[in-house]
């Protein structure tokens, strides 16, 4: 990889004796990792768990192919190892209100949801519409219950959520220096001024994020860049201008402290974490955690009311009676042609660009409900009245959008399809044939096994 000359000169000056090892790390292959989803029911997984990542739950070195049952069903998520540490620093607790402000493609959001055990409220936001659609797909297949997924600007969000969140993660858009070996093309648009240009945008995002933090709440800031302009200098600016204080972060082997001399000399910057690829088995990251010392009482927000009609609630009750077992759903929301389960703690959605107000339960048809893929992804096998174990070849047919034959004695009706006990979606059994309801926009050609 050919790194920009000015980039090498900058870090030779900053890193001194460590620079040769730092430079050599860009010639190494990028590290890969994956997480196993703790929200899913037990199943037989064909993945290599022989290399756990130290200090992280459910995390392993390695990579799982995307066109596999484990990946399609949301049982695993591929994520770079150093990026997984960000959610650990956030440390969300079940029942908390958590915002992932710059959430796409969803790796950190899915990890946060797993740590929250589907309890509380996760708001995942992405300003870019195309990337927000990918965020929806990843949270859906991961089986995240009642997330609020938005496609908003931070400035608009801060008006809807004043003083609302216990934890806010700002995984900021940055110059991406830590991703150079994963994405060598990123070196072509890097220039000496680029980190400072990114820092301007980061400050704009953080100005709004602070407004959404409740007194005593925590703001976690992370980047995948080495640039002090986007790391220590941003945190120094926050400490100087807002009622925030650093939360010391414990360091494990290979982690470095923040560098006060790369900013304003504030010794508290040492409480941040730096991950350099020549010291830690992963790509570059910077992580800092701050706590609000504000004492003002936030204004109350108007909450979203359940709006499903009596007839729609009746249709859902009939569907659950006919097809599900012990599946509790509280508040119901009609959003376009879909019926959703949603968290009643969310604000009124009027005026917000909503991608998903909660978990899609099904499409409202004339006097009936057609169950959604999102519903299948949150169900456990014991919550479906009818399940059908399918072979790998039948799974291939299913994700391709094809119908397939099954035992002629199989019960008719909506059926949760299972591959090695992993729910992969709904089918409808009619006269020994499984009609396909895998979403058209997600269909793909899976590889032959073996």
**Would the annotation count 108 as a binding residue?**
yes
- The angle subtended at Cα 301 by Cα 111 and Cα 342, nearest 5°, is 45
Whether residue 145 sits in one domain with residue 204 = yes
Is residue 260 included in any domain, yes or no?
yes
Co-location of 194 and 231 in the same domain: yes
430 and 332, same domain (yes or no): no
| CA 251/CA 258 separation, integer angstroms | 11
Would you say 321 is a known binding-site residue?
no
* Residues 91 and 226 reside in one and the same domain: yes
- 320 lies in the same domain as 362: yes
Residue 296 has pLDDT above 90, yes or no: no
Do 330 and 181 reside in the same domain of the chain? no
HSE, side-chain direction, 13 A CA sphere, residue 142 = 30
pLDDT band at 336 (very low <50, low <70, confident <90, very high): confident
Pair (368, 397) in one structural domain: no
Does residue 391 sit in the same domain as residue 328? no
Judge whether 40 lies within some domain: no
240 is in an annotated binding site: no
Q: Please indicate if the annotation marks 103 as binding a ligand.
A: yes
- Give yes or no for residue 1 having a pLDDT over 80: no
- List C-alpha distances in Å: 170 to 7, 199, 275, 425, 440: 25, 13, 17, 33, 33
Q: What is the pLDDT of residues 363-377, one digit of tens each?
A: 999 888 999 999 999
Confidence bin at 282 (pLDDT 50/70/90): confident
Please indicate, yes or no, whether residues 393 and 284 belong to a single structural domain of this protein.
no
| Mean pLDDT score of the chain | 95
368, 417: one domain: no
DSSP state of 269: G
Q: Is the dihedral of CA 302, 306, 308, 309 positive or negative?
A: negative
Residue of 90, 135, 198, 224 marked catalytic: 224
Domain limit, last residue, from 381, 404, 437: 381
Same domain, 244 and 342: no
**198 an active-site residue?**
no
| Residues 377, 438 contacting (CB under 8 angstroms) | no
Q: Is residue 231 part of a domain?
A: yes
Name the domain count of the chain: 3
In a domain, 55, yes or no: no
In a domain, 144, yes or no: yes
Non-local (6+) Cβ contacts of 374 within 8 A are: 140, 359, 360, 361
**Residue 268 falls inside a structural domain:** yes
* 126 among annotated binding-site residues: yes
**Domain limit, last residue, from 340, 359, 381:** 381
Same domain, 372 and 344: yes
pTM of the model: 0.96
173 - beta bridge partners? none
pLDDT in tens, 385-433: 999 999 999 999 999 999 999 987 888 999 999 999 999 999 999 999 9
Domain that holds residue 430: 386-450
């Amino acid at each position: 990889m050919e790194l920009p000359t000015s980039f090498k000169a900058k870090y030779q000056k900053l890193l001194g004796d460590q620079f040769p090892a730092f430079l050599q790390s860009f010639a190494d292959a990028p590290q890969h990792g994956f997480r196993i989803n703790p929200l899913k029911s037990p199943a037989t997984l064909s993945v290599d768990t022989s290399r756990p990542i130290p200090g992280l739950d459910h995390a392993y070195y390695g990579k799982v192919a995307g066109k596999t049952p484990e990946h399609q069903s949301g049982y695993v998520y591929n994520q770079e190892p150093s990026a997984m540490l960000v959610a650990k620093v956030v440390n969300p607790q079940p029942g908390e209100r958590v915002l992932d402000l710059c959430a796409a493609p969803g790796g950190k959001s899915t990890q946060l949801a797993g740590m929250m055990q589907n309890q509380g409220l996760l708001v995942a936001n992405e300003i870019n519409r195309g990337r927000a659609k990918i965020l929806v797909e990843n949270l859906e297949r991961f089986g995240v219950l009642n997330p609020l997924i938005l496609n908003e600007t931070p400035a608009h969000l801060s008006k809807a959520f004043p003083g609302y969140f216990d934890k806010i993660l700002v995984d900021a858009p940055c110059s991406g220096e830590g991703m150079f070996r994963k994405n060598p093309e990123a070196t072509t648009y890097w220039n000496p001024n680029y980190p400072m240009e990114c820092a301007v945008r980061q400050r704009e995002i953080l100005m709004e994020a602070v407004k959404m933090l409740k007194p005593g709440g925590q703001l976690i800031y992370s980047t995948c860049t080495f640039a002090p302009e986007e790391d220590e200098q941003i945190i120094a600016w926050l400490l100087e201008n807002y009622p925030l204080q650093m939360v010391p972060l414990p360091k494990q082997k290979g982690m470095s402290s923040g560098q006060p001399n790369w900013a304003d000399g504030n010794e508290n910057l040492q409480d941040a974490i730096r991950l350099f690829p020549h010291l830690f088995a992963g790509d570059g990251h910077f992580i800092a955690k701050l706590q609000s010392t504000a004492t003002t009482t936030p204004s109350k927000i108007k909450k979203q009311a359940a709006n499903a009609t009596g007839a729609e609630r009746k249709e859902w009750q009939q569907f659950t009676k006919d097809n599900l077992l012990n599946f509790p759903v509280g508040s119901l929301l009609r959003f376009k042609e879909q019926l959703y389960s949603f968290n009643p703690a969310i604000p009124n959605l009027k005026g917000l660009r909503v991608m998903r107000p909660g978990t899609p339960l099904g499409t409202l048809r004339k006097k009936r409900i057609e169950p959604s893929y999102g519903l299948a992804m949150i169900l456990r096998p014991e919550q479906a009245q009818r399940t059908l174990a399918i072979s790998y070849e039948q799974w291939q047919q299913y994700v391709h959008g094809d119908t397939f034959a099954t035992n002629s004695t199989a019960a008719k009706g909506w059926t949760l399809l299972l591959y090695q006990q992993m729910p992969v979606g709904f089918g409808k059994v009619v006269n020994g044939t499984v009609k396909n309801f895998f979403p058209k926009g997600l269909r793909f050609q899976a590889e032959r096994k073996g």
